[in-house]
Structure 1
Amino acid sequence: MKNIKNILFALAFGSTISLSSCSDFMDISPSNEYEEEEVFSSAGLTQALVNRVYTYVKDGAKEHTTDGLTDDAYFTHNYGQIPVNEANISESDVQWYDNGNCPFRWSDRYKGIRYANLIIKNIGNVPHDDNYDLNQIKGEAHFLRAWMYTELMRGFGGVPLVSEVVADMNDVEAMKQPRNTIKECLEFILEDCKAAEANLPETVSTSDLGRVTKYAATALKARVLLHVASPLYADRTVNTLACNQYDGDRTELYRQAKAAADEVINCGLYELMDCRGGINTERATKWNKIITTNNNEQIWTRQFGMLSMDGIDRNHIPLQHGPNGYHNWSGTTPTQDLVMAFEFEDGTIGTGMTKPGDNQVGNPYNGREPRFYATVGTDGNEWGRPRPADAKGLDPTPLGRLQCGYYEVTDGDATIELSLPDGSKVSFKGMNGIDTRKGPIEDWNGSWTGYYERKLIDPTVDGQNYPQTVPWTFIRLAEMYIIAAEASVELNDLESAAKYLDALRGRIDLKSTKEALTAQGKSFNQADMREFTRHERRVEFAYEGFRYFDVRRWMIAPETNNKELTGVLVFARLKPGKTAYKPYIHNEDTWDYHYYIQSLKFRENRKWDNKMYFAPIKRDERNRNELLVQNPGME
C-alpha cells in the first residue's frame, strides 16, 4: 500500500485513495488509507472522498492571489508575481502560475478532476445508506468538476477534457490528449452544471454551509456563459490559437447568461443585503458584512474554523493582509488606481490624484461612496482593536487608527527625510507612522502603496495569533445582477441593465445609474453603459478574484496592465499655532495633511504583452504530452 504522505502530497493516481475524516465537513486531516474498491463499497467513504475534492477548489483567502496581478493591488512580497506583471513569463519559467495559490494551477486542478471523475464513474455502485444522499454526492462531484474546468479554461483557454479515470497519471501514453476547444469546454461545463442542478438540493443546513447547492450550479452556468461570450474569444487578431477561439453565437450566450442569472435572482432563496441608512461610513460597515459574515446574499462559500494544530485551511487574512503595526504582513495592498476608481456620493469620479506628482492638502477620501471605506484602509482609519504592547503607546485608543503617514512634531523621536514625487526633499523632526515602511514595528512588512486592504478582514481579530472565521465567498447574489446587467448591455437592452445596476446601487443609497452617468458627463448609450457596468463590477467585487479575468476577457488589459504602479505618501505638518501631544492620533484640526502620489515603478515596472491573455502551460506538462499546443508567445 502506498505511503500516505505520498498520497496526500503527490496524489499518485494508483489504486489507493487517502480520505479525510467524514465526521466534519471540510476537515481535511487524514484518518486512514483505503483501496479504491473499498471507498465505493461505503457511502460514508464516498462522502469523505467528495469532501476531499472540495479542497482542490482554491479560495482567495490567501496572502497572494490574482488581485496582485491587476491594477487593483500590489503584492508586497513578490513570490513570482513581479515577473507576471512585467510579462517575463514562458513555459520554462512560469513563476506564480505554478504557485499553490493560483486558482488555475494546472497540476492541482487536474488532480481534483481525477477524484471527481472517480466519484462520477463509481457512484452507481455505492450501496444505499439512509445517512447519506448519493444523488447529492453525485451532484457535488459534477459541480466541482465543472468549477475546476472553468478555472482552467479562464486561465489557459481550451484545455484537455478528461472525463475518464486514468489508472496511473505516470502512464504517459494514457495521458496524451490534445487541447479541446473553448466551445467544447463550455459545452462540457454546462453539461456538468445541468447534472449538478438535477441532483443537488436547493438549500443545505447550517452545519453543511460550504456545500454547493442547485443554484450554485445555475450561478456557475451564468458566470461561464458570460465569460465565453466576451470579446476575447471572438477575437482573431490577438487571440490567434484556434482552440482558444469561440466560433458559436455569442449573442445567444449573452441571452443564456442573463436567463441563468435571472433564474438565481428570482428563485426566492437569496436577497441583497439592505445597507441603506446613515452616513457613508455607517453604510460601509453594513455593506462589509456581506463579505465578513454568513448571510442571505451568499450562494456558495468556504467556511473556516478558528484553530487547528497545523493551521491547514484556515483564514489567516488578518495576518497576511493586515498592517505591520499590528505585526501583520501587508500582503495584498490597494493601488492608487483602485482608490480613485470609487465614486464620490454625488456620482462623480475624481479626476486628480491619479499620476505621480499629483498632490493636495486635505483629505482626498472624504465624501466617497460606502464601498470605498469598506474596501480600503487609509491613514487615520479605525482598525478595530488596540495596538500591540510594543507599539510604544503611539495609539492607545480602544479602536486603533492606521498611521500610514509621517508626522512633523517638535518632540519627535527621529529626523525624517522624505523625497517628494516632484523631486524636492523635506527634512523635519517627527515620527514615522507605525504602519509605514519606516515604522517601529517590522517595517519590512509595511505597505509600499500607503494603503491596506480591509474588505476581507475582521479588524477585531488579532491576526498575529489567531485566524479569523470570516468565510470566503465564491459566489454571491450581487454577481448575478452584474452578469444580467452586462448581458443586457451587450444585447442593447439598456433599461434592463440600469434596473439591475440600480438594485445594487440603491441598496447603499447611491445615485441611480442614469443620475451617475449624467454626473460623470456620459450618456445613456451602449458604449457608456458598457464602461459604466464594467466599472461597477470592478468596485463591487474588488479583491474577490474577478479583476484578473475581467480585464482579459474584455481585452482592456493593454490599458489596465500598462499603467504605472502608484501609491500615496502622506505627510502631516502641524498647523500654525497648534501643538501636538503624545500619543499622536490622526486629527485634522491639529495637522495639515499633505497627500502626494508617488511612483512605485522601482518596485514593479508593469508592462503588458499580448501573450499574457492566456497563461503558459508548463514545459514539464508539454514534455509528458506532446499533443499539448502552447499558448502563443509562451514557447
Structure 2
Amino acid sequence: MKKLKFIYITLSVLILFSCEEYLNEPNPNAPELLEAVNNLGDTDKVLNSVYNSLFNHFILSIEEDNFRSDIGAMKNRINPDTGLSEHVDFYYKTYNSSTRRIDQRWGALYRGIFFTNQALAALDHIKPNLAESDLQAWNEQRAQALFFRATYHFYLHSVFNNGEIIIRDVYEPDVTKRSKEVSSSADVRAFFRKDLEDAIPYLPMPSEVSELGRVTKGAATMILANSYLYESSEGNTQALTRATALFEELRDNFGYTLETDISKMFTSAGEFNSESIFEIPYTNTFGAELDEFDETSPHNRLASRSGHFNYSGQDFMQPATWLIMAYENDPIDASNPVNTITTGAGTQDTRRVSLRASSMLFLNDDLDTPVYDGPNVLNSGRWGGLGSRALIISAFKKYTNHDLGSANEVDANGGNRLKSGKNVIVNRLSEVLLNLAECYFKQGKLQEGINEINKIRNRWALQPLELGARIDEPETAYNQASLMERLMFVEKPLELALEGHATRIIDLRRWGVAEQRFDDLSQTYYQGTFFPRPGRRAITQALARGPITSITRALSDVIIVEGDVPATIEERRQNNIFQEFLGSAQNYSNNNGYLPIPAEEALNNNDINN
C-alpha cells in the first residue's frame, strides 16, 4: 500500500491560473482572488496549487537533461539520429531559443512562481484579520510559499541565460503589466537566498512534518547549500565556507541517515525513506481521467520513458555506455558478507555486479536480481542487427516499477505505462555527503572527504577508498586532483545519475570540465558483442533452485575497441562499432551548458532585449 499523499486537490476557483502561455494569457478569475480567501483554510487551498505545480515534468526536465549531460545516450547507439527530434537536439546540443521543450520548461517554472505569488498575496490579504493564535500557522504557510518561489528561481538561475533571468516577486493579475527585464545573476541569487532564509525559521524539521510531501527546513537548507556550492565554483572562498557549514548541518542535525535497507532504494516501499530530503509525491490512485501528457496530472511518465523495452518501457533515457561500464567495473567489497550469495545447493559465490549497479540499472549480467515478476532477462543476442532497438543494452531502473511484482509497466500502472505513481526523489543525503566531500577536497581535507564518500560506498558494500592506494592504481596514493577526478567522473555520477534538477550538466559546467569531457568521450570507440546467456527457461529453473550462481558467468556485451578502427561508417556499423557524444563535442560551446531564454518570452515580453 502506497503511503497517503496529500497534495493533489481538485482544481477550483481558488486555483486561478492554468494557462499554457504564462506571460500573455489573461486570467479571468484574477480579480476574484482576494475576495475568495478569508481564512487560513482558504489560503491553504491556494498553497496546494503551488504544490501541484511540482507534478509538471518540465519543472525538473529529467528527460531532457539526461541528453544534455554525459550520462545519457540515444537508444540506437550506432545511429542516434533515429531518436525523437527533440532528444536529438539535446543530445547533439543543437537546441535553441525556439526549441519547444525549453519554452515548456521556462513556462512551467514561471507558472509555479505565479502560484507562489498568488499564495503570498492571499496570505497578506488575510493577515490583518487573523487572531494572534493563528500567526504561527500563517508563518508556516508563508514559509512554504517562499520555499517554492526561491527554489523555482534557483532552478531558472542554474540553467538559463548564464543565471540572468526575470525576478518575479509580486502577484500581477494584469496581463499588460507582466513585461519585465532580466536581472543580473548576483541579484537573482540574492533574491532567492533571502526567500530561503526567511522561510527556514518557520518550516518544520523533517521529523515534525504534518503530512508526507510537505517541505521542511532540510529541503530549504539543501537548496541554500547547493546555491553556495555552485557559487564557490566561481572562486568564491566565502561561498565554499558557507556551503561546507550548511552541508555539515544537513549531515549532523536534521536526522537524515543513509538507507541501509536496499529494498527501500528506488522502490515504492522506500518512498520518503530515511535519506529523502525533497521528494515529489506522485500517485496514480486518482486523477485517472487526466491525460498522461496533462502536466497537472498527479502521475508521471518517467517509468515508461526510462524503462526497458522488455518490460513495456520506451527506452528513451538510455544510460551512456561509459556509465554502464563504470557501474560494472566498480569493485565490490569481497569481505562484506552482503556480497556473498548462497545457492540452493549450499555453495557460495560472489555477486556479479554491485548492489549500487543493480539498484541503478538493468544490466545484462545482473542475474542475481529478479525484476518485475521474474528473472532479469534483457538482451540475449540483441546485437544481431541495426533496428531501432537492436542496440539497447541497458536502462535506468530508479524510476521504474520493477519492484511491484507486476509483469511489466503496463500491468504495474493499471493498463497505462505512462501513468506511474512512483515518487521522484529530488534531493537526498547521498548528495549532501558527496557535495561535502567536494568542499573538503577543495579545502585540502582529503581524508575527511574520503570519509564522506566511504559512508556511501559502505552502504552499497563497495570497496572503500583509501588515501594511500588508489582503487585503479593501488601503488599510487590519491592527491587532491585525483580525488576530485574520482568524485567528478565516478562517485557522483554513479550515485546520482538521472536525479535532481540538472545536477550533472550543472556540475560539468561549474567544474569547467564539460567541453573536455565530451571531447574525450567522443573519441572512445565501443563494439557491441553477442551476449551469451541461457534462455528464459533455464534462468527460471535456476531461480527456483536459488540465486543464479550455477550458470556460467555472463560476459559484458560492450567492449572498448583498441587498435585500428574501420575507416568507413558503414564498416563500423557492420561490426557494431560506435561512438557517443560526437555532437556534444562539436556543439557544447554554442550554449556552454546553459539554456537560452525562449523566443516566446522575448516575443511577448517588451522588456527583454535579445
Q: Indicate whether the TM-score tops 0.5.
A: yes
Secondary structure of the 1:497 match is helix
Q: TM-score, normalised by structure 1?
A: 0.72
- In structure 1, what is the equivalent of residue 384 of structure 2? 418
Structure 2: unaligned runs, 5 residues or longer: 1-11, 76-82, 335-349, 414-418, 541-547, 560-575
**Could you tell me how far 1:212 is from its partner in structure 2?**
0.4
- The alignment status of 1:340 with 2:318, answered yes or no, reads no
Q: 1:505 to 1:494 in 2, by over 3 A?
A: same
Provide the residue aligned with 1:197 in structure 2: 200
Amino acid at match of 2:357: F
- Structure 1 counterpart of 2:588, which letter? D
Partner of 1:541: 496
Matches for 1:536-615 after TM superposition, within 5 Å? 536-545=491-500, 546-562=503-519, 563-564=521-522, 569-572=528-531, 583=537, 585=539, 589=551, 593=555, 595-597=557-559, 598-600=576-578, 605-607=583-585, 608-613=587-592, 614-615=594-595
Taking the aligned partners of 1:4 and 1:214, their CA distance within structure 2 comes to 26
| Aligned-partner SS, 2:384 | strand
Distance between the aligned counterparts of 2:188 and 2:60, measured in 1? 27
The corresponding residue for 1:401 is 376
What is the CA–CA distance in structure 1 between the aligned matches of 2:106 and 2:536, rounded to whole Å?
Answer: 54
Inter-partner Cα distance in structure 2 for 1:510 and 1:290: 24
Distance change (3 Å), C-alpha of 1:602 and 1:149: closer
Q: 1:215 aligns with which of 218, 229, 240?
A: 218
Contact 1:306 1:469 in 2 (8 A): yes
Distance 2:454 2:28 in 1: 53
Q: Does 1:152 align with 2:156?
A: yes
CA distance in 1, matches of 2:374, 2:506: 37
User: Which residue is equivalent to 1:304?
Assistant: 282
Query: Is the Cα–Cα contact under 8 Å of residues 335 and 449 in structure 1 kept in the other structure?
Result: no
Contact 2:281-2:423 at 8 Å conserved across structures: yes
CA distance, structure 2, for counterparts of residue 529 and residue 591 of structure 1: 33
Q: Is the 8 A contact 1:64 1:332 kept in 2?
A: yes
| Alpha-carbon contact 1:334-1:451 (below 8 Å) kept | yes
What is the one-letter code of the residue matched to 1:548? I
| Residue identity opposite 1:145 in structure 2 | R
User: C-alpha displacement at 1:492, in angstroms?
Assistant: 2.1
- The AA in structure 2 aligned to 1:306 is N
Q: 1:620 to 1:503 in 2, by over 3 A?
A: same
Q: State the shift of 1:533 in Å.
A: 2.2
Give every structure 1 segment of 4 or more consecutive aligned residues whose post-TM-superposition deviation is greater than 6 Å.
1-6, 60-63, 129-132, 204-207, 565-568
* Distance (whole Å) between structure 1 residues aligned to residue 108 and residue 535 of structure 2: 55
Change (3 A) 1:572 1:302: closer
Kept in 2, the 8 Å contact 1:72–1:335? The answer is yes
The 5 Å alignment of 1:82-481 reads: 82-91=88-97, 93-98=98-103, 100=104, 105-126=105-126, 127-128=129-130, 133-156=137-160, 157-169=163-175, 171=176, 174-203=177-206, 208-230=211-233, 234=234, 250-274=236-260, 285=263, 287-288=265-266, 292-307=270-285, 308-310=288-290, 312-342=297-327, 343-345=329-331, 368-379=353-364, 381=366, 384=370, 399-406=374-381, 418=384, 446=389, 448-459=391-402, 460=404, 461=406, 462-465=408-411, 466=413, 467-481=419-433
CA contact (8 A) 1:318 1:468 kept: yes
RMSD: 3.7
For 1:186, the aligned partner's letter is: R
Going by fraction, where is helix more abundant, 1 or 2? Answer: 2
CA deviation string 1:19-54 (max 9, x = no partner): xxxxxxxxxxxxxxx821134323222111111112
SS of the aligned residue for 2:279 comes to: strand
1:544 to partner: Cα distance: 0.6
Structure 1 residues 376-385 or 617-626, which shifts more?
376-385
Is the 1:404–1:570 Cα contact (8 Å) retained in structure 2? no
Q: Deviations over 1:596-635 (max 9, x none)?
A: 44445599844333132211112222233354355xxxxx
Residue in 2 aligned with 1:498?
A: 450
Q: Distance in 2 between matches of 1:199 and 1:302?
A: 21
How many pairs does the alignment contain?
517
The aligned amino acid for 2:257 is E
Instruction: After TM superposition, give the deviation of residue 262 of structure 1 in Å.
Output: 1.2
More strand by share: 1
